[in-house]
Structures are given as C-alpha cells and as structure tokens.
Amino acid sequence: MMLLSISLYSSAQTDKNSIDDKEEDSLKKVKTKKSPEDFKDTEVNFLLNYYEQDGDHSPVTGGQGTEELDNVAPSFVVHIPMDSLSSLDLNFGVDIYSSASTDNIDYFDTEHKSSASSMDARAHINASYSHKLAKSGNDYSFLAGFSSEYDVSSFNFGGSYTFNSKDQNRSVTLDALFMNDSWDLLYPYEIREKPEKQSITDDTRTTLKFGLSYSQVINKRLQALFSAEVVSQSGLLSTPFHRVFFDNASGMNIYDNMSTLRELSNVEHLDDNRLKIPVSMRFNYYVSDFMRLKTFYRFYTDSWGITAHTASVELPMMLSSSFIVSPFFRYHTQTAADDFYEFGEASASNTPEFYTSDYDLSDLNSYKIGLGLQYSPVMGIGNFKSPFRKNKSAQFKSIGLRAAYYDRSDGLNAWLVSLNFGFTF
C-alpha cells in the first residue's frame, strides 16, 4: 500500500537540507556562556497535508480493483533551542485516511463487505536532541519515535554524529536507525475460513539503517551533498491482506467472477529478508540573488531485484524580498521485483516460492510536477502576545503552499497539497 510505505519509510528517505544553511551556520560563533541572549526563539510549524489517489491495480484484490484513497494529515514541527549549543525537535500529528482499497479486505464477504480499515487514523510522534561540541565544532544527535494505527504499531530510535571542518564548509555524517513494527495479522475474509492458507507466522518487522553522507560548500555559489545508505529488513515483509490469484484465475475479473475467485484466493508471500542500497547526490547552485537551482539524483537497488533511478529539479525564484515561487519536477523509473506477478500470471501447478501482485513492486515509470509558494516578510506577517514567555511577542512569520500532481505508468495518479504556517515564540 502506498500510504503505508510512505508512513514507515519517510524517516529513512528524508534528508535535512543542511547544505542550504551551511553559509549561514559558518557565520555563527560558538558560545559556551549561557545568558538570556543565547536562548533563541522557539520555531513552530503547523502543516496540513492532503493527499488523494486513484488507480485500478489494488493489491488487496490481487492486482485488480480500485486504489482510491484520501488522506488528511495535520502535524506540528517544533524546534526548541535549549541553549547556544543544544536543541530539541518534535514532530507529531495524525494521518486520517479512508481507503476503498483496504475496505475490500472483506471483498468476498457479501453480507459484511466493509472492513475495519475503511477509515482509520495513524498517530505519530518523533523527538530528536541535537548538541554541538564547543571544542571540536562537531555535532551529535539522538532520536526516537512511535506511531500507531488499527493493525500496526511502530517504534524507532537512532542517532547521528557529524564531523565538521573548522571553517564549517565540509562535513561528514554517520547515522543509524532501528525500527520495529508489530502487526495484527488481518487476513482476507475467505482466508480466515481456511487456516491452511494462512502461511504468515511472523507478526513483527525490524529495520536497520546505516547512513554515510558528505557535504561540501564548493564555492560561494555551489553546494553539494553525497549520501549512501544500507537498509536491512527482516521479519514480516508480506502484507497479510494482499491477495494473489494464480493462472487458474486467468481471464477472470473480480467483478464478474466473485464466487469462483473466492475459492482461488491466496495470500501474498514475500521473502522475509530484504537489503536496500540507495546512493544519492544533491547539488544546489545559486544562479543569482533572484534564482537558485536545486537538483537531486538517487540510484537504488535491492535484494528483491528492483533497480531504480530518481531525478528531480527545483527552481526557487525570489519574486520579491517576501515572496518565493518554486516550480519542481521529479521523475522515477524502476524494474520489477523478481517475485511480482500480474493477476492470473503465477503458475498454480508449479507455484513459485514467493509471489505478489502489488504494483508498487512492478516495472513502472512515474513523474511528479508541482509548484511551491512561500510568503515570509522580513518583519513577519503579524505579531501577538506569546502564550509561553512573559513580556515576549510571538510572530506569525510565514505561510507556504505546495501542490503537486503525480502520475504512474500503471494508471495510478494522485494530487498532493500542503499548507505550512510558521511561527516563533
């Protein structure tokens, strides 16, 4: 499921845009004395994300059927400077989604067709502590997080250490992350009646990620970031309510052959180990005071047979001192996993060891195109009394809007809209 994959791996695939701030950071003088002047404002961003998709290759019904999904995700991102050397970051919120796809877990139950997952909410919280070492100028951080929804609960923890050059123009970061997901094994309706087909026994998934990145301010205009990761997953990598239909169902469809397909239904079965290796690079080029060019490329390969290339470009343009417009484009292409089969393709008489009809693992191309808008006046949009600090004004600093259209070669398409309201307290 696309929503689930986004939820579980976003922390592993999201990069901090530290290279954008290197020039500013290099101008900051490290202080060890703690005084009221050292305590900077707390920054709070409220984000409201909306996502909707549609398609006709749902893995819940074996590679046929609707993939319609709507997701509303409000969240808060809070940055709290604890002193001149340390800070605390919090990210918490909820995803509220309705899915016609997962609502079909009980597709063949003609009396009670709606499943428990027709509408659900996922709550999440992540916290990280960062500290700069006064003598060396290096940084370290620790992080931990938790999330929960109707059939999955997850926790993670990790950390990083960054070696900074004396001029703050170069840095090397080592990071590690551990994730654990615990599942309630929710099988499709017809499989719950057939214990012999309930082949999944493991209800936990563990993920280990190790990363290495190098950032460099090459000159006044050009900055670069190179990173590589090794991600190892083990345990429950199959989704218990993803169906697969073998070649004895070839030529049928779920709309006209319900009674027959009910008897031919099988549960997705994937290898319980997976190794992922993404390698990426970013280049940010300051074309002028008016325009900046941001580029990104990632190569990906894994032990399931997928090889992928992703490239994106963004062009932030400052139309005024307060207003930035950022058009962007992203292209992705990948080969299919070794164990991907379309509906009715895998052999029933010579059943393969592993099989799935999840089109996220198919041979596909996709693109995303969109536009970002940001309004952030130098003096802020408005001021009001701080609810947390006496005799201190809070400020409504900025508002941002980002919208994109996503299209995939298998017919899936989506719209994404995000609002961001920035405050300081």
Read off the tokens for 274.
């997976």
Task: Copy the structure tokens of residue 166.
Answer: 């004396």
- Which residue type, as a one-letter code, is found at position 8? L
Q: If we measure between CA atoms, which residue out of 73, 20, 12 comes closest to residue 314?
A: 20
Burial 171-209 (b: 16+ CB within 10 A, else e): bebebebebebebeebbbbbbeeeeeeeebeeeebebeb
The tens digit of pLDDT for each residue in 70-104 reads: 999 999 999 999 999 999 999 999 999 998 888 88
Q: What is the pTM of this model?
A: 0.87
pLDDT at 27: 33
pLDDT tens per residue, range 156-171 = 999 999 999 999 899 9
Q: Which residues contact 178 (CB under 8 A, 6 or more apart)?
A: 156, 157, 158, 206, 207, 208, 209
Q: Which residue has the tokens 């005071």?
A: 289
Could you give the CA distance from residue 414 to residue 406 in angstroms, rounded to a whole number?
5
pLDDT, residue 115, reads 52
The pLDDT assigned to 119 comes to 75
- Domains, the chain, with CATH or none: 2-12+43-424 (2.40.160)
Whether pLDDT at 278 is above 80? yes
CB-based contact 86:129 (threshold 8 Å): yes
Confidence of residue 21 (pLDDT cuts 50, 70, 90): very low
CA 220/CA 225 separation, integer angstroms: 15
Task: Give the pLDDT confidence score for residue 385 in this predicted structure.
Answer: 83
Among 287, 379, 377, 285, CA closest to 324: 377
CA nearest to 331, candidates 295, 279, 302, 373: 295
pLDDT at 332: 98
Whether 14 has a pLDDT exceeding 60, the answer reads: no
Rg (alpha carbons) of the chain, rounded to whole number: 24
Q: Across the chain, what does the average pLDDT equal?
A: 89
Residue showing tokens 């205009």: 221
- 61 in Cβ contact with 243 (< 8 Å): yes
Torsion of CA 230, 236, 238, 241, to 10 degrees: -140
Note whether 339 and 271 are within 8 A (CB).
yes
- Judge whether residue 6 has pLDDT over 50: no
Cβ pair 61, 42 in contact under 8 A: no
Measured CA to CA, the distance from residue 85 to residue 33 in angstroms comes to: 10
Which of 34-48, 236-250, 299-313 is the least confident region?
A: 34-48
Q: CA angle, corner 173, sides to 168 and 179, nearest 5?
A: 145
Tens of pLDDT along 170-220? 999 999 999 999 999 999 989 988 888 888 889 999 999 999 999 999 999
